[in-house]
Structure 1
Amino acid sequence: MIAPNQWLDDFQKNVSDMLAKTPAADIERNMKALMAQTFARMDLITREEFDIQAALLARALDRVQVLESRVQALEQAQTDAGLDKTQ
């Protein structure tokens, strides 16, 4: 008698072989190729690339905020120095 696991493995192999010989396999391959071409034309990026760019943008925004505060401080110092000279 065939072991249950062996029977299931044989059944799965037979079903896979049968499906591979049907038009469904061709349709699946064609659909995958069509989707790959469509995605390639859309110029998509991976999630990892998106996360890297988001992190770089966050760092750049932090640096801009620091520089803005430094410019404001320098402008204020210049204004204060200009007021002291006129008095």
Structure 2
Amino acid sequence: MLDPKKLEEIAKQISDAVPPGVKNMAEEAESKIKQVLQSQLSKLDLVTREEFDVQTQVLIRTREKLEALEARLAALETPDNKDA
């Protein structure tokens, strides 16, 4: 099994060996990619996680009410129901 501390040490050695210009270029590329992704995602018709979670809860409550109403209807439709 690999020792996590050893892996961290190797990763640090590799990071230290990378020239500063390459690090800056990678950081700039990452920043630009994030900007482009955010720009493109903002053009999509998406909902926030909060909105999604709220709608999920509404759907759960609606399903529960529907199931209760279906059970009541089934009970009313039974032939031995004297209230009908």
Q: Distance in 1 between matches of 2:71 and 2:39?
A: 48
Q: Give the 3 Å change call, closer, same or farther, for CA 72–24 of structure 1 in structure 2.
A: same
Tell me which moved more, 30-39 or 54-63.
30-39
Structure 1: runs of 5+ lacking an equivalent: 1-18, 83-87
* Bigger helix share: 1
Deviations 1:49-78 (A, max 9, x none): 1111111011001000110001101111xx
2:45 and 2:31 map into 1 onto residues whose CA distance is: 22
> In 2, Cα distance between the equivalents of 1:30 and 1:67?
54
Q: TM-score, normalised by structure 2?
A: 0.53
- Larger relative contact order (Cα-Cα within 8 Å, sequence gap ≥ 6): 2
Q: Deviations over 1:4-63 (max 9, x none)?
A: xxxxxxxxxxxxxxx9xx766764553233111221233222221111111101100100
Percentage identity across paired residues of the two chains: 35
Q: Distance in 1 between matches of 2:81 and 2:77?
A: 10
- Mapped to 1, the partners of 2:81 and 2:52 lie a distance apart of 46
Q: Is the counterpart of residue 80 in structure 1 residue 80 in structure 2?
A: yes
Q: Of the two, which has the highest radius of gyration?
A: 1
* TM-score, L = length of structure 1: 0.51
Uncovered stretches (5+) of structure 2, i.e. residues with no partner = 1-20
